[in-house]
Amino acid sequence: MSQPQAFAGEDRSFEALLAQWSAFLAQELRLSAHTISAYQRDLSAFSVFLSDHLGAKIDLSALNNVQTSDLTAYLSRRSRGDNALEAASRARALSAIRAFYRFLSVRFDVDAGVVARYRGPKIPARAPRAPAETEVDGLIDAAELDADEPWIAARNVAILTLIYGCGLRISEGLALQQRQIPLQSVLLVRGKGNKERRVPVLPLVQAAIADYIRQTPWDLSPEEPIFRGARGGPLHARIVQGLLQKLRRQLGLPESVTPHALRHAFATHMLRNGADLRAIQDLLGHAHATATQIYAAHAQDGLIAAFKRAHPRADRPKD
């Protein structure tokens, strides 16, 4: 395997490489300090394992020579012991390693093929459901890393945050126009049957959209949709669907996690946190209450599961 490139005298130690990647995440992708800290922990754990596994200090050359067997041994180690990770958590750790190697491949011409092609842990099959709040956070965090250009990373974060934060259909999110920017506290949405509804906009959603608008290279007229493809045309739903397909596989989430599942998650999480079913119906733009009832069933399932986990007598046999 060829040796990776670096500038003369440049520090190739793992610590220096991690610091450079962290700076890239903060300055170019503008990830939060919390997200960067989580990725640093994943990469540090990988480095500690490799150093012990290979019997050498980890630097750029060692990272360039990582083999499939090394990754298998690492994930096997993370599955055992007092701090064992479940399959989904190991898949997330592997996702961080892939992102780190993508950075190294661009910055130092490291061969990232072994890591990119490695198949992660097999995730046990699960019944279709709305993703949990932590899983939605994980998807949005992963979207920030899954693009070579910062403006595309910001776009991916913005569209997912908008769909989940406002409970929109994917077509409604992609229809957002330049004239509606900057987003106000209430968004007028034109949904199915050309019916209009008003949806509150969270500050988090406003910030994600504003960050994307700051970074987008395209100069748009007021009536044009703000979300653009890599070549400047309108962003198609299939691109967002493909993004979710890629992210859910990286994170070990079921096939049911689609853009529309983020809308489901919006309703389910609102209900679990005390929102009124009729209010949810209005926010989703459902003409009939029966279309919203399914979310009440999902929310109730979650409450029952939480009750069984938390109640001190839930696992005691009947008298």
Q: Which of 155, 169, 228, 264 is catalytic?
A: 169
Residue of 74, 98, 295, 298 marked active site = 295
Catalytic annotation present for 286: yes
Cβ(172)–Cβ(199) below 8 Å: no
Number of neighbours of residue 187 by Cβ within 10 angstroms: 19
How crowded is the C-beta side of 293, counted as CA atoms within 13 Å? 4
* Catalytically annotated residue among 92, 228, 263, 264: 263
Q: 228 phi and psi, to 5 degrees?
A: -120, 150
Q: Which of 30, 197, 260, 272 is catalytic?
A: 260
Q: Catalytic: which of 192, 246, 278, 311?
A: 192
- Whether 269 sits among the annotated catalytic residues: the reply is no
169 classed as catalytic: yes
- Mark whether 288 is an active-site residue: no
Distance CA 243, CA 247 (A): 6
**Is position 238 annotated as part of the catalytic site?**
no
Q: How far apart are CA 70 and CA 314, in angstroms?
A: 43
Q: For residues 239 and 253, give the distance between their C-alpha atoms in angstroms, rounded to a whole number.
A: 19
Active site residue 164: no
- In the three-class reduction of DSSP (H, G, I as helix; E, B as strand; rest coil), residue 177 is classed as strand
Dist CA 237 CA 154 (whole Å)? 17
From the candidates 78, 155, 264, 286, give the one annotated as an active-site residue.
286
Look up residue 314 and give its two tokens. Answer: 């839930």
**Residues taking part in catalysis:** 169, 192, 260, 263, 286, 295
